Amino acid sequence: MTGIPGLRGTGVVGHLCAAVMVIAAVVALAGSALSPHDANAISLSYSFVGPGGDHLFGFDGNGRDILSRLLVGARTAIAGPSIVVVLSMTVGTTIAVAAAWLGGRFDAISAIILDVLFAFPGILLAVIAAAVFGAGLQAASIALAIAYMPYIARVLRGAALRERAQQYIAALEVQGLAAWVICARHLVPNMIGLVVAQGTILFGFAMVDLAAISFIGLGVQAPQADWGVMVAGGQTGLLQGYPAESLSAGLAIIVVVIAVNVLGERLTERARGGTR
């Protein structure tokens, strides 16, 4: 089968999901340039006015162009989960590899710490972080990263242990290569399929959680455009029969989350059934 090398074996659906993610990333990077209007320009005379002209999605309760806010809001909607993924994958992979490599006491102690962290739901940790460090995307993302890290570490520890048991690793040890070199050059690259797959799935979870955190007012702060903020901000409109703002932002979240989850599942399947 043909396809993009990194996506081999994920099928047409996998490629479609990846396309959705690429579009989301482009919008996140260039959203303000792409948006037809100023996302924050308020004109109350346009409050809840429906689609018309180049205002494809109409206006929100404050008379702001919904499409522009969607495009601009993609940045924080994508950046937050990205921070979560990078942080928790880096720390989780490091702990997983160290536990698998060192075994013994380090493995046992790290398992206990991870178990304790497991007990904290991400949202709860984010609420605490907001209380301590103030509400905002950064605190919320770091809190989620900490909450998700144990899942990542646990899944990857198993993979690291399997890889550690391969004889090529022993051969490299006998050669006299330093342990961290073996891990960085050989062990982790051989787990990368699973790392990417887990990171992709995590991205979806983090996106939903961050939207929820923004929804309850502890994440991205209004009036800044953000998909989670928009779902929340559209509530008054929803009650008055103007669902465009909440619906469009919610739909954007759902489409991206489904795309990353489906792709993540397929990548995981591929990594698990991988050659060896």
Partner 1 sequence: MSEPLAILGVVGLRKEFGPLVAVDDVDFAIPVGGSLAIVGESGSGKTTVARMIVGLERPTAGAIIACGRDRSTPARGAAERRRRGGEVQIVFQDPYSSLDPRQAVTAAIDEVLRLHAADLDADARRARVGELGGLVGLDERQMRARPGALSGGQRQRVAIARALAATPRVIVLDESVAALDVSIQAQVLNLLADVRVATGVSFLLISHDLAVVRQLTEQVIVMQRGRIVERGATAAVLDDPQEPYTQLLRASVPTAGWKPRRRAGAR
The answer to whether 166 contacts partner 1 (rule: CB under 8 A) is yes
The answer to whether 174 contacts partner 1 (rule: CB under 8 A) is yes
Cα 80 to the chain's mean position, in Å?
7
Output 118 or 168, the one with its CB closest to partner 1. 168
3-state secondary structure of 55: strand
Output 1 or 276, the one with its CB closest to partner 1. 276
How buried is residue 48: exposed, middle or buried, by Cβ count under 10 Å (0-12/13-18/19+)? Answer: middle
**Cβ atoms < 10 Å from Cβ of 99:** 23
Residues recorded for the chain: 276
* Binders of partner 1 in range 103-122 (CB under 8 A): none
The answer to whether 261 contacts partner 1 (rule: CB under 8 A) is no
For partner 1, the binding residue among 2, 5, 12, 167 (CB under 8 A) is 167
Output 37 or 186, the one with its CB closest to partner 1. 186
For partner 1, the binding residue among 113, 178, 222, 251 (CB under 8 A) is 178
Cα 224 to the chain's mean position, in Å?
20
Give the integer Cα–Cα distance in Å for 206 and 203.
5
Residue with tokens 């720390």: 91
Least distance from partner 1 to the Cβ atom of residue 183, Å: 12
The answer to whether 102 contacts partner 1 (rule: CB under 8 A) is no
Give the integer Cα–Cα distance in Å for 45 and 47.
6
The answer to whether 5 contacts partner 1 (rule: CB under 8 A) is no
Sites of contact with partner 1 (CB under 8 A) = 166-168, 170-178, 185-186, 189-190, 275-276
